[in-house]
Chain A
């Protein structure tokens, strides 16, 4: 079976999602590399995740679909701009969030901010799906994107460590 990032790239291309602004994350690295390697995409880093949301919203309104990539801590900086831009204006801005802070996290800050992600998404009433399995990855990515586009609503896709392997503690506890 294909690795998760190849499945994601395939679905992004099938749905014409061309613009990929991002703030990097280690787990996203294979996806980011694959996107940069493919001339179909326009991909670049932004200074903040808020900026990436603004860029995607502007592009979508002008006819170019996009998705912002980030990690959990980046998502935690976004409640205000999500509420007042894509939610209020009904713009199908897409986000892909690499889930840090759970299932073996070694950084207590990441673990603490992780706990704010689902309550924030729920409070914003924003469609979101966690991808945990390789065999469900393509379906979830494809259907979430299509629903966002046809209902003019933003949506978030969360990449679980169950899918990506996450980032394990580089040092053994006590060692």
Chain B
């Protein structure tokens, strides 16, 4: 078990971590990017049809990923959720712990702020430890990534073993590397094709 704590975890660059994650996906794993910069960096890391970019509904990346995970238990599903967003829907960690989907991996993108709205500190600034919160909710496989190499190890472990898993990521202050194309109906359509649910001749 990792001994990394919220205090000694290295502050890392979200776009770099996102690229490292995507590079490890070889089995059409689903990735749900939460509101704002979590999905901006996912999109900028290179569109995949198995990516879903959530453009509103702050806090719902994990519930959406849970729905995907329940519907397709053979597919690994990642949720990328910001700390501010998770604070809005903390109860979902209990739901995940109780439903215990083996194929769900949650990444908490903890930069301590609402970066997309101007970098205001979140109400968790007093020292909320999201990995400890997750453990308290019953998610026993929850750990802070010590650094980039440790993150890659945790992702590999998440892909290779039964979950649910939660990986806490302390982020630096760098902004997103790009922006998602805001076309919800197209995003949904591509994602459903990526999930093998929709077949259509309306391609080009």
Query: Which residues of A pack against B, CB within 8 Å?
Result: 19, 42, 44-48, 50-64, 66, 80-81, 83-85, 88-91
Contacts and interface: CB of A to CB of B under 8 A. Distances in A.
Contact of B56 (A48, A61, A64, A85): A85
Q: Considering residues B57, B59, B192, which has the most beta carbons from chain A within 10 angstroms of its beta carbon?
A: B57
B161 interface: no
A120 B64 CA distance: 23
A158 to B, nearest CB: 22
Nearest to B90: A47
Contacts of A62: 30, 67-68, 71-72, 75, 195, 197
Interface string B49-85: 0001011111110111111111110010000000000
A84 B56 contact: yes
Give 5 nearest A-B pairs by CB, closest first.
A84-B56, A47-B91, A58-B67, A54-B63, A64-B71
Given A19-B70, A51-B89, A62-B195, A91 B188 contact: yes
B197 A59 contact: no
A157 B98 CA distance: 28
A89 B99 CA distance: 26
Given A44-B98, A44-B99, A60 B67 contact: yes
A48 B197 contact: no
Contacts of A91: 188
Contact of A81 (B56, B94, B191): B56
Contact of A50 (B60, B72, B197): B60
A84 B64 contact: no
B32 interface: yes
B132 to A, nearest CB: 18
A58 B55 contact: no
B60 A85 contact: yes
A96 B4 CA distance: 44
A19 to B, nearest CB: 6
A44 B63 CA distance: 13
Given A48-B89, A55-B64, A90-B185, A64 B57 contact: no
Interface in B87-128: 89, 91-92, 94-95, 98-99
Contact of A58 (B56, B68, B185): B68
B184 interface: yes
B21 interface: no
B56 A83 contact: yes
Contacts of A66: 67
